[in-house]
Structure 1
Amino acid sequence: MSIREERGLSAILPADQSVADYLADHPDFFERHAGLLEQLRLPHRSGAATVSLVERQVSVLQDKNRALDHRLRDLVAVARSNSALSDKVHALAIRLLRAEDKSSVLDGLERGLREDFGASQAVVVLFHNTSEIVQGVKTRFLRSVDRSDAALQPFATFIQQSRPRCGRIRDVQREFLFPGENEGIASVAMVPLGRKCEVGILAIGSNDPKRFNPTMSTDFLARIGDLASAALAAASHRLEAARGGS
């Protein structure tokens, strides 16, 4: 760029800024000079022609409206999804409330996850007081281990954090939770049962790698964990009370 061109550009830029500043300070300018709006021409976004300033403003507003409409549709879809999940959690709560003992609690939990939530692969790992509950519960759904079992070492961080986790898990974790079926499990939701997994772990597996991902909300999973652990604790209390009264 020549010195003359640089000087010309430096003279234009302050002038452009002055015009912009003036229009910003006088928002009623085009109301007092309405005819200018039709005279001002801007390149069309496609580059094929020119349009008036008013037409450009209309185009910009239409784009904004479309973006807002898409956003609103997304919010409505999320609200409907949350409402459906809330209904399913409510139905699960009723199942668990009707359960009279631990065996019934686990059976209701397994049925609710399979029938209401479409969970084809799920397992509950209980850490203590399991001697009386295995009858009537599918062994595929129930695992009982000592809390000090070395097989739980790969879950140490999850147990300590005590919050639901979604996504891919390590092979050793997947093999422990879903023995013999780990190759078909692409994503997993792990839910603590009780504080620091005091009761155990609930794990739900899916062959869809996107079904459970680290970015998804875990609020409803946490509610399911709270319901299950509370129902199991209540069943234990009833059993202890019955033994004490006999």
Structure 2
Amino acid sequence: MTEPVTPITEADIAQFLVHTPDFFERNADLLAGVQLTSPHGGRTVSLQERQAEMLREKIKVLELRLMEMMRHGNENMLIGDKLQRWSRQLFLVARPVDLPAVLVSEIKSQFSVPQAALKLWDVAEVYANEPFAQGASEDIRSLASSLTVPYCGVNAGFDAVKWLDDPDNVASLSLIPLRNGATSPAFGMLVLASPDSQRYQAGMATDFLERIAELASASLSRVRDY
């Protein structure tokens, strides 16, 4: 009894071609006669032309990626320049009592932040009655200490929004805890806010905001109570 013949599948053909790289060298006329359908208009093109189309598409994708990388690089360079200018202004502050106000005004100016506010606690006794040392409730202090990275997202009715000049005009914000080290409790919080709901989005990268927090925390050590 003759055994049934197993039909050859596309997978079998693909495996044969993979393991027989010189097949088309021996059958060059077959390769030249292969016709494919182009995704551009559905017309029939040769294999060589289809390969050229695919190569052009890959080049276009790479060019777009390169342009995006260059754009991000330019943006990072501009942000770095702004960060340097902001830091410089903090170094130039002569009196520690003036630091919080300068920090806030410069961050609004350098980074085009519509609204910003800062509150500190555990400050030296001489600064205990300053505006920047008033108004941080226990809930806010607990929230600041619980944040391991800056919060970015919609205004969910945080009490800290009340520190701002126009709390009713806040669609998105960032809450930036200030601390001496990664495991230390927070001694303050910086609030950045915008009427643009997309300015501070949940899930956005916070590396830059973390650098802001580190520099702000270091500069404000001059008003701390140790």
| TM-score interval, smaller chain | 0.7 to 0.9
- The 1:120/1:133 distance shift into structure 2, 3 A limit, reads farther
Aligned-pair distance for 1:69? 1.4
Whether the aligned pair in 1 keeps the contact of 2:172 and 2:199 (CA below 8 Å) is: yes
Structure 2 unaligned spans of 5+: none
Partner of 1:103: 97
The amino acid that maps onto 2:147 is Q
Question: Could you tell me which residue of structure 1 aligns to residue 163 of structure 2?
Answer: 177
Aligned partners of 1:186 and 1:205 also within 8 Å: yes
| Corresponding position of 2:210 | 222
Instruction: Name the counterpart of 2:174.
Output: 189
Note the C-alpha offset of 1:28. Answer: 3.6
TM-score by length of 2: 0.83
CA gap 1:90/1:172 in 2 versus in 1, 3 angstroms: closer
Question: Aligned-pair distance for 1:87?
Answer: 1.2
Equivalent position of 2:77 in the other structure: 83
CA apart distance, 1:30: 2.8
- Superposed displacement of residue 199, structure 1: 2.4
2:38 to 28, 31, 44: 44
| 1:203 aligned counterpart, secondary structure | strand
Are the equivalent residues in 2 in contact too, given 1:42–1:50 (CA < 8 A)? yes
CA separation of 1:93 and 1:200: change in aligned 2, threshold 3 A: same
Q: Is the 8 A contact 2:176 2:191 kept in 1?
A: yes
Moved over 4 A (4+): 130-135
What amino acid sits opposite 1:204 in the alignment? Answer: L
| Among candidates 190, 193, 201, match of residue 202 of structure 1 | 190
Deviates more, 1:28-37 or 1:72-81: 28-37
Q: Deviations over 1:51-96 (max 9, x none)?
A: 1111111111211111111111111111111111111111111111
Match of 2:219 in 1: 231
Which of 13, 17, 29 aligns to 1:23? It is 17
- C-alpha RMSD of the superposition: 2.9
Give the number of the structure whose residues are more often helix, by fraction. Answer: 1
C-alpha contact 1:192 1:225 (8 A) present in aligned 2: yes
Give the letter for the 2:64 counterpart.
Answer: H
Q: Structure 1: where are the runs of 5+ without partners?
A: 1-6, 241-246
The code of the aligned residue for 1:184 comes to N
Q: Deviations over 1:226-246 (max 9, x none)?
A: 111111113558xx9xxxxxx
Per the TM alignment, residue 157 of structure 1 is displaced from its structure 2 partner at its CA by: 4.1
